Amino acid sequence: MVFSSLTFLLLFLPLLYALYFARTSVKWRNGVLLVMSLLFYGWGEPVWILAMILSTAVNFFCARAIARREEGAARKLILALGVVASLSFLVYFKYSAFLANSVAALLSLSWRMDTPRLPIGISFYTFQILTYTVDVYRGKAPAQKSPLRLLLYISCFPQLIAGPIVQYGDVENQLGERSVTPDAFTEGMERFIKGLAKKVLLANVCGAALEELTLAGTGEPLSLLGAWLAAFLYTLQIYFDFSAYSDMAIGLGKTLGFTYKENFVFPYASLSVTEFWRRWHISLGSFFRDYVYIPLGGNRRGTARTVLNLLVVWGLTGLWHGAAWNFVLWGLYFGVLLILERFVFKTILEKTPGAIRWLLTFVIAVIGWVIFYYTDLPALGQHLCALFGIGVSGPGDAAAAAVVRKYTVYPLIAWVLSLPVVPAVAAKLPRRLRSALALVFSVVLLGASLLFLVGQSYNPFIYFRF
């Protein structure tokens, strides 16, 4: 089930709210939310619930055992057991075929392993389980006494499938005590509708336009216009798609009494790659910083070790997104750029005009998303070459021209909306007028989104694959 489906909007969500607010008891609301979250996750594929429950159960008992011991090797052994148990599910479902087939190709073997069916959201909930067990080991959080409450933390449907990655310490108190005011509920619904509109009216339309273009790997050469237009559309699509899900998750969480941290803050307004990654998928960056980069030594052991740590973190960041070499290349692409910004070009960038830095950062992001898009490496190479005029069929092609005619300035409007232009204008309005306009726009956006959903067949969330 997805947030941008009529089943969710017209059936699941009204039923959830009716049951959830029937009583004020936190125990009742936790029970309703747990049952509905499991229903949400198991919709269509209930078997995958078992993997999530088993991983949660192992870490529940491991964390309880860790909490009973103040120090010693036993705590580390139990922590390792919990971490390995969680990662084993992720490695098997997501990476086993990739690793086995890579080794087979390296050894020139004809044997290939079929890729297991990937449980939706396994990367996200695995990381959340790990934050809980590790935080208990570090003494940053107490061990949860209720297995059902821990399962609710893992399975809570707003952020379950595609984040943001919610660390246990962020919601520990809210699992046991929370309330929802009318103002908070209204604010949460406005945020949800904003996300829904970004998904349906922007991401889906950019995705539909992208499908009408000639892409690499089809046996046809790309034109220069077609290559850049496809890269530009995917850049917009993935931002609006993923940030939309985060907006909807944060909004739904607020309507239920949970406060989730921001996950996107207009990343395409960044003036450097470093800033871009402080604004894009913030919860993932925080996870790798707190649970990988800092434990590796961070920047405390000299330049060479810092560079190595950054390469390890960004290699893992790329691999987290998918079991294919293009994701590893994508992660290392940004890792190398971050290292160069930090140790080579820092002084030069500080003296470069902001407009040039902004445009350069955006182009770097566009090229990065081309690497991200193609799991077929020859196709990736073809598209990257086409961006620089190598091997192109010409300056333009019929498909690109048709998309330009059909969608006219729509991609440019979407690009403007990806920048903090609207918030800047809204901030200059009187508070009451801003609130009234927000309510009116929410009603209009909800109606438009529902109308689009009735007629749209293109409605996947990109990050469900990861």
H or E segment to which residue 322 belongs: none
What single DSSP character describes residue 464? G
| Amino acid at site 48 | W
Which residue shows structure tokens 């050469």?
Answer: 221
Whether residue 291 contacts residue 126, with contact meaning beta carbons closer than 8 Å, is answered with: no
The dihedral built from the CA positions of residue 89, 93, 94 and 97, taken in this order, carries a sign that is positive
Q: How far is Cα 466 from Cα 463, in angstroms, rounded to an integer?
A: 5
SS3 193: helix
Cα–Cα distance, 193 to 9 (Å, whole number):
11
Q: For residue 456, how many C-alpha atoms fall within 13 Å in the half-sphere facing its CB?
A: 23
Nearest residue to 85 (alpha-carbon basis) of 116, 151, 130? 130
**Contact (CB, 8 A) for 366 and 276:** no
Which of these, 103, 105, 158, 95, lies nearest to 128 by C-alpha position? 158
Q: Quick one: which of 37, 46, 49, 30 has its CA closest to 8?
A: 37
Residue-by-residue DSSP string for 55-103: HHHHHHHHHHHHHT--SSHHHHHHHHHHHHHHHHHHIIIIIHHHHHHHH
Residue whose C-alpha is closest to residue 182's, from 255, 247, 258 = 255
Q: Is 383 a catalytic residue?
A: no
| Interatomic CA distance for residues 43 and 39, integer angstroms | 6
Q: Active-site residue among 29, 75, 191, 321?
A: 321
Q: What residues act catalytically? A: 321
